[in-house]
Amino acid sequence: MIYAVVNTKGGVGKTTTAVHLATMLSRNGKVLLIDGDPQASAASWAAWRRDNQTYTPSPTTTCLTGKAILNEGKALALNFDHTVVDVGGRDASGLRSALLLANKAIIPIGASNLDAAAMADMLEILELAKDYNPNLDVRVLLSRVDPRTKDTKEMLEFLTEQNIAVLKSYVCERVAFRRAIGEGATVFEFGKDSAAIKDIESFFVEVEK
């Protein structure tokens, strides 16, 4: 299975989602994590993880940008049970390539008006991708959620109007995610915040179905 974690909007949790997904998939198979962002955040995470030496399991990580995500990614993915692509929002051809390569697209999104406004862009790109990759399964993941506000409920209403599938599980804003990523870890290994672990595990169970 090839997963693309995408959103044209920055800072929504794409890299956090991609590295957690790739690591959780690595429990049961060989996993390739493609860092498709020229800023190479996932590759930095992987380098910190290698330095630590105790965090396990780990996906194999490589950096590809633009059309290489599709061309080289397709060939590389044949050697792995699962591939996860972390796509940079600013690399338009990389984003399109990832959506052509993938079986499943996961769109992390925050719950704010700015996120909703940015979604128009994303919906247009998805529409185009589906012309060439009609079986692409697209799911929105509500990310960095603050459960004390009504923003999430409003966002859900907006997404329902847009006819886009939303995962039932969501990931709250928790400091454990930020700290874990900065250590080359996942929330399973660093901080061990049980609420953060529950968030990401529920996401995994639902997305892997």
Ligand X SMILES: Nc1ncnc2c1ncn2[C@@H]1O[C@H](COP(=O)(O)OP(=O)(O)OP(=O)(O)O)[C@@H](O)[C@H]1O
Q: Which residue from 137, 154, 173, 189 is in contact with ligand X, where contact means CB under 6 A? A: 173
| Least distance to ligand X, CB of residue 18, Å | 7
d(CA 168, CA 27): 23
Q: Does 171 bind ligand X (CB under 6 A)?
A: yes
Helix locations, 133-174, DSSP H: 151-161
Q: Which is nearer to ligand X, 30 or 179 (CB)?
A: 179
146-184 in b/e form (b: 16+ CB < 10 A) is eeeeebbeebeebbeeeebebbebbbbebebbeebbebb
Q: Which residue from 9, 14, 20, 144 is in contact with Mg ion, where contact means CB under 5 A? A: 14
Residues touching ligand X, count (CB under 6 A): 19
- 131-136 contact pairs (CB < 8 A, 24+): 132/100, 133/99, 133/100, 133/102, 135/103, 136/99, 136/102, 136/103, 136/104, 136/105
Site stretch for Mg ion (CB under 5 A), options 9-17, 21-29, 51-59, 136-144: 9-17
Q: Does 10 bind ligand X (CB under 6 A)?
A: yes
| Least distance to ligand X, CB of residue 135, Å | 25
| Least distance to ligand X, CB of residue 75, Å | 25
Contact 157, 40 (CB under 8 A): no
Q: Lay out the site mask for ligand X across 20-59 (x = CB under 6 A, - = otherwise).
A: -----------------x---x------------------
Residue 205 CB-density burial (10 A; 0-12 exposed, 13-18 middle, 19+ buried): exposed
Contact 116, 10 (CB under 8 A): no
Tokens describing residue 17? 């989602």
Q: Does 177 bind ligand X (CB under 6 A)?
A: yes
Q: Which of 15, 21, 13, 10 is nearest to 43 (CA)?
A: 15
| Least distance to Mg ion, CB of residue 78, Å | 25
Output the residue with the shortest Cβ distance to Mg ion: 15
Q: Lay out the site mask for ligand X across 106-125 (x = CB under 6 A, - = otherwise).
A: --------------------
Contact residues: Mg ion, CB under 5 A: 14-15, 41
What residue ranges bind ligand X (CB under 6 A)?
10-16, 37, 41, 88-89, 143-144, 171, 173-174, 177-178, 181
